[in-house]
Amino acid sequence: MYPSRLRAAQQLSRQCARSFTTSGRQLYSSSTVPAPEENGEKTVEITPTKPAAVVKQAPNRAEVWSKSQKPRSEAMTGPRFEQTNFDLQPQPWAAIELIHKQPVKWVHERIVACDGGGGPAGHPKIYINTDKPEIASCNYCGLPFANEHNRKHLESLPQTSYPLQ
């Protein structure tokens, strides 16, 4: 086979492979599609017929909460996510919002151990220092702990990130 024909065959096989791995969103965003004509190649402009939908990260969080996180509308692309109706896809609640609804666990010890509930649903046991007048949270599960000696100070604050019940 001639090198030019080999290159054309390779390019055609790459284009065919791409056509099977293109999601619906990528098809809407494509701007040109080559269409063969008798005299040669012609490029036809296609405009998207459907406006891009605003997709929330989670039902209780509209934007991303990490610098390295992609927005949900950009992250959910490719052949695995062909279904572009995000109302039908699962949207778990953002844990960062839910953990701040947990009430503070008041303890009398200076050092508390947290294992996330233990067992297979837990995490490795860590020890949390609670002798400072602040709410100390677990690095794994985010549960808040505070020393009983600091309760008056914490209740006098205008606002805390966890409920002080």
Q: Say what the pLDDT of residue 44 is.
A: 52
pLDDT tens per residue, range 30-84: 444 454 555 555 555 555 555 555 667 777 777 877 787 877 777 767 777 666 6
pLDDT tens per residue, range 122-156: 899 999 999 999 999 999 989 999 999 999 999 99
Stated pTM of the model: 0.47
Q: How far apart are CA 165 and CA 155, in angstroms?
A: 10
Q: Say what the pLDDT of residue 55 is.
A: 66
Q: How many Cβ atoms are within 10 Å of 22's Cβ, its own excluded? A: 15
Cα separations (Å) of 16 from 38, 92, 129? 22, 35, 59
Q: Say what the pLDDT of residue 151 is.
A: 93
Q: Say what the pLDDT of residue 99 is.
A: 87
Q: How many Cβ atoms are within 10 Å of 59's Cβ, its own excluded? A: 11
Residue bearing the bigger pLDDT, 106 or 32: 106
* H helix or E strand, kind and range, residue 156: helix 151-156
One-letter amino acid at 111 equals I
- Whether 15 shows a pLDDT value over 50: the answer reads yes
* H helix or E strand, kind and range, residue 49: none
